[in-house]
Amino acid sequence: MTFSGVYVPLITPFDADGSVALDALEVLAREVLAGGAAGLVALGTTGEPASLSADEQRAVLDVVTRVCRDGNAALVVGANSVEALRALRERPGVDAALSLVPPFLRPGEDGVVAYFEALAAASPVPVLVYHVPYRTGQPLSAAALRRLDAIPGVAGVKLAAGGIDAATVELLADPPAGFAVLGGDDAFVSPLLALGAHGGILASAHVATDRFAELVRAWAAGDAVRARAVGHALAGLALALFAEPNPTVIKGVLHAQGRIPTAAVRLPLVPAATHSVEAALKHL
């Protein structure tokens, strides 16, 4: 399948007793699909998967799989090991896996390519590379991204370089056919779309989902005047939503809107300050 449009990496809402609020998760997932999202990401970093037990992860994936099936929407699952990818064989309905460039080790471009060759060989579904060098410590050149594209089973990249870097410009100046480039830096997604990206995996699209979908459509249609206006507004919203560690402000906004039962996060995250949530709400 072709990966384009807006994908929402779902938060994991928690009840007052600290348990996963599965009912709220289902309602939220259905709301963002109704708002125009092309698909959902389950157990991505926005969903705090490292803080969830194996049973909680399974329950979250059950809910999101059902919602995507009912809505005929794409389902992407965060999976960062051969074992996690192989486990997807037992999960019909998953369209792709989102796998992080190995963090901390900085294995070099050859190591990254070899790593994704192993992941793609083990995966029953296409793999999307999550490239976020300011978190992983591993930069990738445009040439390395093209090498990743050449791996059978690698379908695209979530590109979160912290802005529009030289590798991004070079890649999109001559994009590989069939290789999806999805923005992952919410505040920079509009200029990335202007360069030719296919969409975005955007935590900010929990709110104003319809506006993010409109932004993608406007750039795809070549309506630069409309796209710039929408993009400028959404960049301000995204910066406000990321004023504190993700997804703390987003959860604060969703709770203030009555869409999730609490704004709780799990350690090492702590809830966003009230002023950060209020500042984000002003953009809505």
Look at residue 1 in the predicted model and tell me its pLDDT: 74
Residue 82 resides in a domain: yes
* The one catalytic residue among 7, 115, 134, 158: 158
Domains of the chain: total = 1
| Domain annotation covers residue 230 | no
Active site residue 282: no
Per-residue pLDDT of 247-265, as tens digits, reads 999 999 999 999 999 999 9
Give catalytic status of residue 251 as yes or no: no
Average pLDDT score over the chain:
97
The pLDDT value recorded for residue 41 is 98
CB 179 within 8 A of CB 149: yes
Range of the domain at 42: 5-224
**Range 169-189 average pLDDT:** 97
Provide the CATH number for the domain around residue 127.
3.20.20.70
Q: Let me know if residue 165 belongs to a domain.
A: yes
Q: What is the per-residue pLDDT for 10?
A: 98
- Name the pTM for this structure: 0.97
Which of these is catalytic: 7, 115, 130, 251?
A: 130
Region 40-45: mean pLDDT is 98
Tell me how far apart the 2 most distant CA atoms of the chain are, in Å.
51
In the predicted model, is pLDDT for residue 2 greater than 90? Answer: no
What is the tens place of the pLDDT at every residue in 108-139? Answer: 999 999 999 999 999 999 999 999 999 999 99
Q: Read off the pLDDT of residues 198-228 as tens digits, 9 standing for 90 and up.
A: 999 999 999 999 999 999 999 999 999 999 9
In a domain, 102, yes or no: yes
Domain-located, residue 114:
yes
Structure confidence at residue 279 as a pLDDT band (50, 70, 90): very high
pLDDT digits (tens, 9 = 90+) for 223-235: 999 999 999 999 9
